[in-house]
Amino acid sequence: MVQIRNVNKSYGSNHVVKNLSLDVYEGEFLTILGSSGCGKTTTLRMVAGFEQPTSGEILVQGENIANKEPYERDVNTVFQSYALFPHMTVFDSVAYGLKMKKVPKKEIHTRVLEMLELVQLGGFEKRMPAQLSGGQKQRVAIARALINHPKVLLLDEPLGALDLKLRKQMQLELKRLQQKLNITFLYVTHDQEEALSMSDRIAVMHDGALEQVGKPKEIYEAPQSKFVATFIGETNLFEGVVRGLRDHLVSIAVESGTILGSGEGFAENEMIAVSVRPERMQYSLTPVEGFTIEGIVKEQVYVGSVLKSIIVLQNGYEVKLERLAGEMLPINGTVYPYWEPKDARLIHPRDQEFFSAVENVKMA
């Protein structure tokens, strides 16, 4: 549906989008996830036509849109600030796109009312934006963007200004709308939870470059880079050197001892990073075979169904551990963290990460 090919964008010497290539498939909900300033909004704006790529091309349904003005593109945007027209009623705002397309008045009327019904704003058509709540403004912005039946709907952190409860509700609603209308959604957010719960696929961006693209489950369970591992959800990250390989088992020497993981394609003495999700982390009161790390239980927080603990290793690293509430850990007692080798995710560090890993091991 949308193909972004080797797109670069620089403002002077500031390289904000670096050689980005991304395919968005028809009818899918794709989220670009990243922290602020990572270039995700710029990417979206290039698809919309508000910015032009410094190099590379963007295709919509196979057609290069570089020379198309925003008003010629079959994509519509929901803006972060809503950008509602303050001097127009809800009806006029939503009708705006149709009016620009010179659709007959009668048709405009029925289509706008239908659309307002769809976003659950029936009866609000005479209101002015100033008389609407944040959530209602958001719905108007969505209705306004959807009325032209765009091939792709671009959403730039549309829920950022809403409070938590409303945000959750709108997430579900957006998903419902997307499935009902079967329109391709390209969604930008820095909220990983939002991304995980709504998207068909997630593209993680970091520092202008694409880190990983995949289904939410893949992104969460099989992060391909340290950044993805730490940015999506909580994780315990170890860096070390491969010391032993047996079948799928990999033994890794880290600063505070030896740990186990499982995987293929690793070589002895290779630098790698190991990511273990807190809910996969286990502990024992006696040493476990293959693991030589030990620590002291520093803190425990009981949050309803889950017990969150922090274990401080000898080198000061804090291991996060999360399990269903049950027996408490001995506070200030010595424990031995471990995990099933298959629960650890082994990551080949990239060049820039390599040196920091070397530093860490040297210190150990």
Tokens read off for 318? 């804090």
By the rule CB under 8 A, 328 interacts with other proteins: no
Tell me phi and psi for residue 347, to 5 degrees.
Answer: -125, 130
By the rule CB under 8 A, 69 interacts with other proteins: yes
By the rule CB under 8 A, 153 interacts with other proteins: no
How many CB atoms are located within 10 Å of the residue 243 CB?
Answer: 13
Q: Which is nearer to other proteins, 72 or 351 (CB)?
A: 72
By the rule CB under 8 A, 137 interacts with other proteins: no
Q: Report, in Å, the least distance between residue 110 CB and other proteins.
A: 19
CB-based contacts of 154: which residues, under 8 Å, 6+ apart? Answer: 44, 47, 48, 75, 76, 77, 78, 186, 188
By the rule CB under 8 A, 66 interacts with other proteins: yes
Tokens read off for 122? 């029936």
- Please, which residues bridge with residue 353 across strands? none
Q: Which amino acid is at 142?
A: I
Strands 201-206 and 29-33: parallel
Q: Report, in Å, the least distance between residue 68 CB and other proteins.
A: 7
Stretch that binds other proteins, among 74-82, 190-198, 313-321, 336-344 (CB under 8 A): 74-82
By the rule CB under 8 A, 317 interacts with other proteins: no
Residues in contact with other proteins, counted by CB under 8 A, come to a total of 28
Q: Report, in Å, the least distance between residue 70 CB and other proteins.
A: 4
User: Which of 334, 159, 361 is closest to 271 using CA atoms?
Assistant: 361
Cα 147 off chain centre by: 27
Stretch that binds other proteins, among 62-70, 210-218, 228-236, 313-321 (CB under 8 A): 62-70
Dist. CA 98–CA 5, nearest whole Å: 31
By the rule CB under 8 A, 145 interacts with other proteins: yes
Q: How far apart are the first and last CA of the chain?
A: 50
By the rule CB under 8 A, 97 interacts with other proteins: yes
Stretch that binds other proteins, among 75-83, 168-176, 284-292, 346-354 (CB under 8 A): 75-83
By the rule CB under 8 A, 59 interacts with other proteins: no
Give the residues lining the site for other proteins (CB under 8 A): 48-50, 52, 66-71, 75-77, 79-81, 83-87, 96-97, 100-101, 144-145, 148
